Amino acid sequence: MSIRKKLVFSYIAMIAIPALLLVLTVLLAASAFMQDSGAETAGSKGGVPFAAIRNLFDGRSEVRSGLRFVAQHDPKLLGDAAFLQETESELAKVEAGLLVLSGGGEIAYASQGLNAVEVKKQLAEDKSNNEQGRGAGWGPPWKRDDFSKLSLNQIAFTAADGQPGTVVIVSDMEPVARFFRRFFPTVLLTLVGTLILTNGLLTYFVSRSIIKPLYALKDAASHIREGNLEHRLQQQPLNRQDEIGQLSRSFEEMRVRLQASIGAQLQLEQSRKELLANISHDLKTPITGIQGCVECLQGGVADTEEKRSKYLDMIASKTSDMNRMIEELLLYSTLDIGKLPFNWERLDAAAYIQMTADELRHDPRMAGIALTYVNSGLIDKPAWIRADREKLNRALLNIVGNSLAHMEQEPRELRFTLLVNTEATTVTVRIADNGTGISAEALPLVFNQFYRAEQSRRTQAGSSGLGLTIVKQIIEEHRGTVEAQSVVGQGTSITIKLPLLLEDADYGLPRGDQL
């Protein structure tokens, strides 16, 4: 659930829960307080709480209406004791009494238990309030004066002898006043308490669900700031499905990527250190040899022309080794930073590999080595590839040079194989030798920079250890792959796979010669 939905539901709950509790409080308080105040009537027990008060006032209204009708149409009944007693009985059911006053203010009839003197005094006070403009019924319900007094309803009539009179219906408002004095404060306090409790709890839980994962993010950020990238974010915020969960997952992904990036940077730094160490070591050997030859020439050790020629040949050889190492290092660095330009064209792989094999047969280094070329693919059709002929030739020669350096057993053999797979749209070039081979432990590392499998291959003088690394970089620039297979004592094969171009497609590449 999103944070927005949580906030909307919490706002709805802040309104709905207090409203529901307020309704329950009103019903329970009304029922309880009316029982305590005695405001229930027989007909309202077990019913709606406020029905008791409604029935109370309805009963008084019915009796008052009947007396008003009698006063207007048959006032002589107001002098009949039997009628007055019957009316008194009806009023007693609704907690009211009856007082009949003659024209002179004399008490003609009073209900049993009614304090007629107190009623007459209150009548005088009500008359005074009406003259001052303050009628009964002003102020809050729980502070109104008419609730703290008797309720007096006066009905004027004319007696049979022509004298004016007054019928006063006296209602006891104390039960109702006691109910409202307890009911309204209780409801108000319940409403305030419910609002405070509900809003407080909802605010706490909603804010806690937001603030707690934010503190977890803050703690994780502090660890990253201190360089501790191993500290994982807690699982709880990662499992959330809201915006904080999305932020947490993005944060964790950033930490993992940052850790990988720093690891790669450290590895690169380590590689640079190894680069310097290997360069220093590999250059020191020929330089030491050159220095020794120079000292022999300067010291007169080479006292004959034959010796001087021998030392000069050694200097030339060491210089050539150094030059080759520096060239490979420069090529590797240029490939590594992506600054070496490639001249792409469409080449017929079959014709190109055939030409390379033919050129190698005339190479002095191939003396005593049986070189064969087998085309297992499309013999009659060209196998087009996207390639830079010079860079690809450099990769093939590096592989051949690596094989030549580790051929010790006779007869020495080198085999070129071309395989075209039209279904997989690949051209495979495999160069295999019958040299010393590479151990299974060293085989996955042969394409790493400066790696030499010294236990299974001897280090060649002038070798930089970058030959196969450069091969891998060049082949990957050709969008291909390279891998090695080897068995110790039986030989090694390097397999190159390049994408096959469709013969009738136009790739915007210049077409190479039909080699």
> Which tens digits make up the pLDDT trace of 441-462?
888 888 876 665 544 334 444 4
Rounded to 10 degrees, the C-alpha dihedral 314/315/316/318 comes to: 80
Task: Tell me how far apart the alpha carbons of residues 412 and 403 are, in angstroms, rounded to a whole number.
Answer: 10
> What pLDDT does residue 289 have?
83
> What pLDDT does residue 440 have?
85
**What residues have CB less than 8 Å from 182, skipping those under 6 apart?**
29, 33, 36, 37
Evaluate whether 326 touches 308 at the Cβ level (below 8 Å).
Answer: no
131 pairs with which residues across the strands? none
> What pLDDT does residue 495 have?
94
Evaluate whether 21 touches 190 at the Cβ level (below 8 Å).
Answer: yes
Strands 491-499 and 426-433: antiparallel
Task: Tell me how far apart the alpha carbons of residues 355 and 55 are, in angstroms, rounded to a whole number.
Answer: 118
**What is the SS3 assignment for 336?**
helix
Low-confidence ranges of the chain (pLDDT < 50): 39-48, 136-148, 454-462
Q: What is the torsional sign of CA 68, 74, 75, 80?
A: negative
Reference 290, options 92, 461, 106, 77; nearest CA is 461
The pair of three-digit structure tokens given for residue 226, joined into one six-digit string? 């201190």
Evaluate whether 415 touches 432 at the Cβ level (below 8 Å).
Answer: yes
DSSP letter at 233 equals P
Evaluate whether 484 touches 414 at the Cβ level (below 8 Å).
Answer: no
Task: Tell me how far apart the alpha carbons of residues 514 and 503 are, in angstroms, rounded to a whole number.
Answer: 14
Task: Tell me how far apart the alpha carbons of residues 446 and 437 are, in angstroms, rounded to a whole number.
Answer: 12
Residue range 56-107, pLDDT digits in tens = 676 778 878 888 888 788 778 877 778 888 888 887 777 778 778 776 667 7
Q: Please provide residue 345's backbone torsions phi and psi, each rounded to the nearest 5 degrees.
A: -155, 165
Q: Which residue has the tokens 């010291």?
A: 299
**What is the SS3 assignment for 9?**
helix
> What pLDDT does residue 479 have?
92
**What is the SS3 assignment for 168?**
strand
pTM over cut 0.85: no
Total count of residues recorded for the chain: 515
Evaluate whether 345 touches 389 at the Cβ level (below 8 Å).
Answer: yes
Q: Please provide residue 227's backbone torsions phi and psi, each rounded to the nearest 5 degrees.
A: 90, 5
> What pLDDT does residue 237 have?
65
Task: Tell me how far apart the alpha carbons of residues 107 and 125 are, in angstroms, rounded to a whole number.
Answer: 18
End-to-end C-alpha distance for the chain, whole angstroms = 68
The pair of three-digit structure tokens given for residue 462, joined into one six-digit string? 């002038």
Evaluate whether 452 touches 467 at the Cβ level (below 8 Å).
Answer: no
Determine whether 245 is exposed, middle or buried from the number of CB atoms within 10 Å of its CB (0-12, 13-18, 19+): middle
Angle at 110 between CA 107 and CA 116, to 5 degrees: 65
DSSP 391-437: HHHHHHHHHHHHHHTT--SSSEEEEEEEEEETTTTEEEEEEEE-SS-
Q: Please provide residue 260's backbone torsions phi and psi, each rounded to the nearest 5 degrees.
A: -65, -40
